[in-house]
Structure formats: C-alpha cells, structure tokens
Structure 1
C-alpha cells in the first residue's frame, strides 16, 4: 500500500503489518497526508526482525527483511529524513499485536486441562505473561528504541478477530499482556475495543473484512484514523 501523494506535510509515519492497511486506506480517502504502510506480515514483526544502527547518519533501525527495509527506506526518503532519529512526526505502528499467531491452539496444548480448556488462573499468571512477552520481544524492543529516540509513538491494537486455528481465550489474554507491556514502555496504545466489538468481545461484522478471518475493513480503519486525529495527529 503506497502512502498518500500530496504536497502537504505528512502528519505521521505508518509502519506495520497488514493491519496497517485499512488505516492507510482510510487516511488516503480522507485526504490526510501521511507516509508509510504495511511492510510485511504480522508474524515477521515479533522476534528478531530488526537491528539498530548508530553513526553519522543518525540512530536508526535496519529491518532484516529485504522487502521491509526497502519500503522503510523509501518512506524515510519521501519524508526527507535519513534515519528514524530524525523523524519529526509521530510514528504509528502495529508491530507485535498479531495475537492470533501467539494464540495458535497447538502452542498451548501442554497447558490444557482434561476438558481441553486452559485455566483462567494460568492465563492471569506470571508464566503466561513471560511466554507472551518472550514471543513478541523484538516488537517490544522496537517500541522501546523508538521511545528512547524521543519519538511520539502510537501502537494500534488489532481487530478483535480470532481465526479457527487460534484459541480465543489465549488471544484475549495475550493481547492484553502485549498491551500492558507496550504501555509500560511509554507508547500511546490505541485501544478501540469498546467501540468496535459486540457483547461477545469480538469485532462487529460491519467492521470485518469480507471473506477474511483476521482483518478489519475500511470502516474499521476510519474509526482508527478518527481516533488518531483526536489524539492530535
């Protein structure tokens, strides 16, 4: 997804997985200038996806994926900056919030009781927290690095959709642990669950991408964009 082409200054840099797509689409349709978009799949941005670089060009990140790095460099060039440390606008990201990967059923079979369920006490416990944070440790490191550079960072929570291969209870518990971990780093987490879900806690059908188990649609992206604008972007 390309960023909006406009002569107006970009209001934010958008980096993330496919969940960033509807946000960028909504911004383009609304005429909100921004730079960025999805640079890879969600599972690519949990662990070991970047390194840091320090030098005369400024402190920066280097993405391990050639495709992600190519997109990122193009975005920076369009903004007229050479490194993340030079970014003068907020960074909006979706990294680390692919909780459906963390919640894959087969990953948690060891912790099920005889009924096949996972005890709420386990999901609220220290071991679960440690495992989840470990699964997204590089995403947390990315956010920490960006905050330490002095950037304003906003992380957008994902659509509340649980595909069949994932455990819904683990999904809900894992994303809450991720939200808390990201918040602790000084990141402004955009949590719109109260506006986008039904009584069951799952994404409302009118905000779901058709024929898709995971993503939100343009209407969902518009809600996220409106929240970003309300927060000063």
Structure 2
C-alpha cells in the first residue's frame, strides 16, 4: 500500500519511492506533518531485476501507475524535472538477497557460507548481479543530477534468510551506492544491539522484516538534519 501526502497547500520536501521499507518513513513523515509525495511502489523483490527503463517507465503496471501519480502531484512529467530530493529504498532489502536457498551451493560441511566466500570477488559479483535493476535506477537518477538519499533498511533477518549473507550483501550494497554518490541514511549504530540486529523498539511487531514508526521517525529526523 502506498503512503502519500497531499501537497495542495504546502510544497513537498521530497519524493519517496521504494519498496515496503519506505512505508514507515512515509507514516513518520505524515505524523510529523512533513509534506512529501510518494511511498512504496511494490515489494522488495520487485526492484532487484531490471524494473525501470531510462525512458521513464516502470515495467510493471502498478508501480508505473503510482509513479505517474506521484509525478503528476509534483507537476512534473519526468524524473529529470524533479524539483526536490529523491528518497529511495530500491534494492536495499538485503534479506531478500540473503534468502538461504540461493546460497546453498556455497555452504561448507557445517552448513555455513564461509567468510572467505563472503569476502570474495565472486560473492560481490553475484550480489551486484542480483540487484542490477536497482543499481541501474540509481545510476539513472544520479546521472540526471538529482540528490538521492537511501535509508538503509531495518536490520532484521527473517528465518528464511541467512544472517551472514545479509550483512555481507548489505556491505556491498553500501559500497555500490556510496560509489554512485548516493547519500546513505545509516542508522545502524542507533537502532541495533550487540549482534547487529534491530532492537525491538524499532521493529514492527506484527512481522519479521519491517521497521516500526519509531524507526521511521529516526529516518525522518535524519532527513531533516540533512536539510530536506
């Protein structure tokens, strides 16, 4: 479900696009009466393989419909005309990349994916290939001269995902976005415990992957600190 704020009386401060992890950011911005446009366009898996063409079209019908609605609200016809920063979570669902069965081929006799593999060029290449659609979208947005900010997702690893792969893949995603001059909103030091996982106060209680409103508020606070 998309979270959208009307900008009929107050100019929007940013465009929010992403997967379901954008939801708590949108809810927190609404609660703070911070004007923005946008919200989730789909699930995390929708934005890993190529999903967006450089002519400005999402390949799936529903994301395209929502995207066009958001641009219309901002009174622009294309991303190139965006008058505000873009806040985006595409490709950052590391728990999806870390789905256990995807990495069974690389496990040792103990059933563990070895650190030597997680630190290898092959692993990095596989992660980049998995999220190539998202990386292409960031390449496109940055090439247009947009200011792009990417909030890292909640540090939550569901049972179907491998924690070691999650953290290793996320590090690669961080490096890739940093190399593209995307501004990372990284709250890990503020919301995790000694294991690196999200503390309960910042977890949505009724599922295993999403952040709570409190987490969204921290993201919004960071966005405000950065001038949005």
Q: TM-score, normalised by structure 1?
A: 0.95
Matched, 1:92 2:91: no
- Pairing 1:12-27 to 2, within 5 Å after superposition: 12-27=14-29
Match of 1:226 in 2: 221
Give the gaps of 5 or more residues in structure 1.
54-60
- Pairing 1:189-204 to 2, within 5 Å after superposition: 189-204=184-199
Q: Which string of whole-angstrom CA distances, capped at 9 and with x for unpartnered residues, describes residues 35-78 of structure 1?
A: 0000101100011211111xxxxxxx210111000000000000
Residues matched between the structures, number: 226
- Pairing 1:72-221 to 2, within 5 Å after superposition: 72-221=67-216
Q: CA deviation at 1:142?
A: 0.3
Match of 1:58 in 2: none
Q: What secondary structure does 2:54 align onto? A: strand
Name the CA distance, whole Å, in 1 between partners of 2:146 and 2:94. 25
Match of 2:39 in 1: 37
Name the CA distance, whole Å, in 2 between partners of 1:105 and 1:42. 16
Q: What secondary structure does 1:171 align onto? A: helix
Moved over 2 A (4+): none
Q: TM-score, normalised by structure 2?
A: 0.97
Name the CA distance, whole Å, in 2 between partners of 1:90 and 1:211. 31
Name the CA distance, whole Å, in 2 between partners of 1:42 and 1:119. 26
Name the CA distance, whole Å, in 2 between partners of 1:76 and 1:212. 31
Give the gaps of 5 or more residues in structure 2.
none
